[in-house]
Structure 1
Amino acid sequence: MQIIVEGWRFICHSYCVANQFQLLEMLVKRSYPVGNRPRGQIELFHRDMPYIDAAWETKFSLFDRPNETLLRSINSPAVNQSADVTLRMYCPWDFSASSSAATWVFAATEWGIVTSSVLQGMGVKSIAQTPVNSEAKIITPSAWSKAGLIRSGVEGDRIAVVPLGVDPQIYYPLSGDRRQLLRQSFGWSNYFIFLNIGGQTDRKGIRPLLKAFAAVVDKYPDARLVLKGSELLYPSRDEIAEASRVVLNDAERARVLPRLIYTGSQLSFAQIAEFYQAADVYVSPYLAEGFNLPVLEAAACGLPIICTEGGPTDDFTRSDFAQRIESKFTAVTIEGETLFILAPEWEHLTDLMRRAIEQPAIAAKARVAGPGFVAENFTWRRAVDRLLEVILPYKKQEKIDLSTFEPIIL
C-alpha cells in the first residue's frame, strides 16, 4: 500500500505540524490491522510543496535528531508516480485529481466559511468553481471546520473529520520537584502563570484575553500572562501592541504591560512543552479556530484549560479538566466579507481566570484527568489510525449467499 503525501515540513505552521507528526506515526510499523491490512504494509513518499511565503524558510530543528532524521529520510516520489492514495497537506488547497487511485486534501476552516483570501489563493471566487464535489475528498480536523466547509458549498459526504493528536513522549506532566525546578529556571516561581501559545492575532482572542487579564491582576497582582508567538509566521508583537492600545485604557495598560511576558522566538516542540509543563493555566478565548492544537497539548501536560465554548475545542475538552467561556455565535463583516465567529464573554473569562487562582482543586483534578483523557483518545497514534481507515481504499469482502449450499447430513 503506497501513500504519497504532498505537503509542508520543518516550520511551525499548523498544517506543517500536523503533517510532520502524521508522517512520523505512519513510519511506525504497527502489526495490528487498519481497515483490513496491517499498518506495516504502508510505503510512504513525501513531496515538499512551496510555502505560501518564502520568508517562512527556517533551518531550525523542531524535533530531536532521530525524528528529524526520519522525516528527512522519506523518499520523494517520481514526477508522475502513482500510488493508492495522495494526501495533500498544504495551502492553497488543490482539489484536482492526482495520479493516484484516491486523492484527499487536508482543509480547515476557522471563520465558519471558506474565506475570500483562501479562494483567492486557489484562483477562484467560489469553492464551487473547484472540483471539490467531484474529484478529491476532504480531511478536516473538527466538526466546526466541517460545518464551515459545508456552509461554503462542499457536500457533507465528501468530508471526513479526523482530529489531530499529541505525542505523549513530548507532552506530559512533570513531577512536582521537576516542575518547580523548571519554573525556577524561567523565573516563574513566585507567580501564577496564565499561558497562551500561537499567533497573537485577533481571531486567537488576544483582545478579550488582555481585557480579562487587566481585571484579574487588579485583584491578583502576582499573576503573569505568558504569550508565545511566532514572529516567523505572524507579527505577533505588533498585534499585541495594537490590541492593548484598542481594548485597554491607560490604567489597565499600566497594570498589564509589566506583567506580560512575550517571546516570538522559534522553539522546538520539546521546548514549547516546557512552557505547558511550567505554567498554571492554559487560556484560549479564541474567536475562530480550525482545531486549536495547543489546547490539546496543554491538557496532555496536565494544565487546567480555559477556552471558548461552541467551537472545535468542544470536540476534545471535558469538564473535569476544562472550563468553557460563554460565547455567542456571531456574523461579522470584515472588509466587506461576512464571517462567523464565537464571541467570548470577557467578563465570564475574567471570572474563570480568577476562579483558577482561588480554587487549587481545579488544577489538581486537571493534572490527572487531562493527560488520561488525551492518552486514551487523542494521541497521534489514534489520529493516524483514524486517518488511514478513512483514506485507504480497500475491497470489502463479498457476502456469501448461504442459500446456494446444500446441508451436509451426517
Structure 2
Amino acid sequence: MKTICIEGWRGVNHSIAMVNQNQILEMVKLPQLRLFHRDAPYFLPHWDRSKLDSGFSAEEQAVIDALQDPGDTPVDVCLRVASPIRKGAPGSAARNVTFVVTEFGLSPKSFEPGDLTPAALTDGDDIVVTPTRWSRERLLDYGFDENKVKVVPHGYKTDVFMPMTAEQRMAARQGLGIQPHEVVFCNVGVSTWNKGIDLLLLAFADLRLRGLPVRLILKDHKGLYGIGVEKMFTDMANIAPHLSLPQVRDGISVLSGSLNLPQIRSLYALSDAYVSPYRAEGFNLPVLEAMGCGTHVIVSGGGATDDFVPEALGYRLQSRPGTREDAPQVDGAFVVPDLADLRHAMTQVVEQQIPDATARTQAHAQLSQQYSWGTVTRQLVDLM
C-alpha cells in the first residue's frame, strides 16, 4: 500500500480546489492507496467555504473532509495541489509531485518563496504535473526540465455532467423564462481579461442588434474574486456604448451566488452553446463539463482546449499569437481570437449549422471514457 499526503484546498469552488476534490473522490476508491490531507492556506483570506460551497453532495463532501492530516507520519508521496507553488517540507515524503498550471506563464510571484527554482521542484524523483500542452510549454519557457513535466488532463464528473432528456431541457429553459425559439449562449468564467468575456459581449450584442432571438447567461464571481460582470460593462462603456442599450441588456442574465453541481449541469444542458473566446487558459474545465452535457462549445483555437475539444463537439475560433501591441500590460503568452469568426460561429448555432447528431453522439461517448475523473486520476496515480 502506498501512502499519499495531498496538500491542497478543500471546501471551496475555486478551480484548483475542484480539481483536488474530484481527484480525492477517485483516489479513495483505489485499495492500493492510503490517503491523508493537509489543508493549504487559501489563496485569498476572505474565502469562506460556507459562502463558496464546492457544490458536491453532502455524502461526497463528507468523504473529502474525512481525510486526516498525517502529522509527523512519513508518507511515500506528497501531492501538492494549491497556489502559490511551494516545495514540500524536507523529509516529509519520499517523493514530491507538484501540480502546476498557468495561463500566461510563470513568474517569481507564482512561487513561495519567489526565488524557488524549477530544479528545486524536480530534484531526484520529484516531478511536476500540468493539465495541458499549452501549460506545459509555459513551464518549459520558465526553465523546467522537459523530462520532469508530465501532462495529466483534468476530467469531469460523468455521473453529473450528462445530457438532459428533451423534457428535462424544456422544463429547465421554462424555469428561466426562455422561449422555445430562443437560442441560449452561456459562460461561467470570471470576468478577467484572459477569459475573453468582453469579446463574447461584443459578439452577442451584434447578434441582438441584428434582431436574432439570442440570450446570454453569465456567472458572477464576486464572492470568489471580488470581480463582477457589471465591472466589465463599466470598463467597456466608452469603447462599446451600444452594450448599454436595452435591446442588448435585456437579453443578458447574470447568475449570482454559488451553484451546486446539478445546477451547473442544468445551465450547460439548457444552453445551445457554451462560448469561451479566451485569450489564455491553463485548461478551461467548464468547456469539458459543457461538452459532457452534450452542449456545443465555441472556443479559441491555438490554446489549451486544443487538447480535448473534438471537431464534432465544438468550433475552434480562428486565433493568432498575441503580441505586446495587442496587450502591453501582459507579460506572457496568449492568443487573439478573431471577433468576426466568433460572430460567425455564434450565428451558425442560431442557424443550427453544427455537426449532426450521430457524429456528436459518437464523440460524446469517447469523451466520457477518456476524460472521466476516474480515468485521468488513474493516470496521475500511475505517475506516483
Same fold (TM over 0.5): yes
User: How far is the alpha carbon of 1:287 from its aligned partner?
Assistant: 0.4
Output aligned runs, 1:2-401, within 5 Å: 2-28=3-29, 39-59=30-50, 60=53, 62-78=55-71, 80-96=72-88, 97=90, 99-111=92-104, 113-115=105-107, 117-119=109-111, 122-124=112-114, 128=117, 131-134=120-123, 136-190=126-180, 191-234=182-225, 235-250=227-242, 253-332=245-324, 338-359=331-352, 361-362=354-355, 364=357, 368-391=361-384
User: How far is the alpha carbon of 1:370 from its aligned partner?
Assistant: 4.7
* Structure 2 unaligned residues grouped into runs of 5+: none
User: How far is the alpha carbon of 1:118 from its aligned partner?
Assistant: 1.9
Q: Confirm or deny: 8 A CA contact 2:118 2:144 kept in the other structure.
A: no
User: How far is the alpha carbon of 1:365 from its aligned partner?
Assistant: 5.3
Deviations 1:354-401 (A, max 9, x none): 01110255474575245313212100011111001112xxxxxxxxxx
User: How far is the alpha carbon of 1:279 from its aligned partner?
Assistant: 0.8
Cα distance between partner residues in 2 of 1:61 and 1:129: 31
User: How far is the alpha carbon of 1:254 from its aligned partner?
Assistant: 4.3
2:198 aligned partner, one-letter code: R
Query: Relative to structure 1, is the Cα distance of residues 116 and 214 closer, same or farther in structure 2, using a 3 angstrom cutoff?
Result: farther
Query: Relative to structure 1, is the Cα distance of residues 90 and 63 closer, same or farther in structure 2, using a 3 angstrom cutoff?
Result: same
Q: In the alignment, what sits opposite 1:398?
A: none
Q: Confirm or deny: 8 A CA contact 1:82 1:100 kept in the other structure.
A: yes
Cα distance between partner residues in 2 of 1:182 and 1:336: 41
Q: Confirm or deny: 8 A CA contact 1:304 1:366 kept in the other structure.
A: no
Deviations 1:70-118 (A, max 9, x none): 112122211x22111110011111135551111011110101x204542
Higher deviation after alignment, 166-175 or 135-144: 135-144
Deviations 1:111-146 (A, max 9, x none): 1x2045424xx2325x63771343642110000000
What do you get for the CA RMSD once the two structures are aligned? 2.1
User: How far is the alpha carbon of 1:264 from its aligned partner?
Assistant: 2.7
User: How far is the alpha carbon of 1:270 from its aligned partner?
Assistant: 1.7
Cα distance between partner residues in 2 of 1:133 and 1:41: 25
With normalisation by structure 2, the TM-score equals: 0.92
Q: How many aligned residue pairs are there?
A: 376
Cα distance between partner residues in 1 of 2:334 and 2:81: 25
1:152 aligned partner, one-letter code: Y
- Structure of higher CA gyration radius: 1
Deviations 1:30-77 (A, max 9, x none): xxxxxxxxx312111111111021211121361112111111212221
Q: Secondary structure at the match of 2:281?
A: coil
With normalisation by structure 1, the TM-score equals: 0.86
Cα distance between partner residues in 2 of 1:211 and 1:308: 15
Query: Relative to structure 1, is the Cα distance of residues 389 and 165 closer, same or farther in structure 2, using a 3 angstrom cutoff?
Result: same
Deviations 1:235-290 (A, max 9, x none): 12244323532542337744422211111311112211110111111110000100
Q: Identity over the aligned pairs, expressed in percent?
A: 30
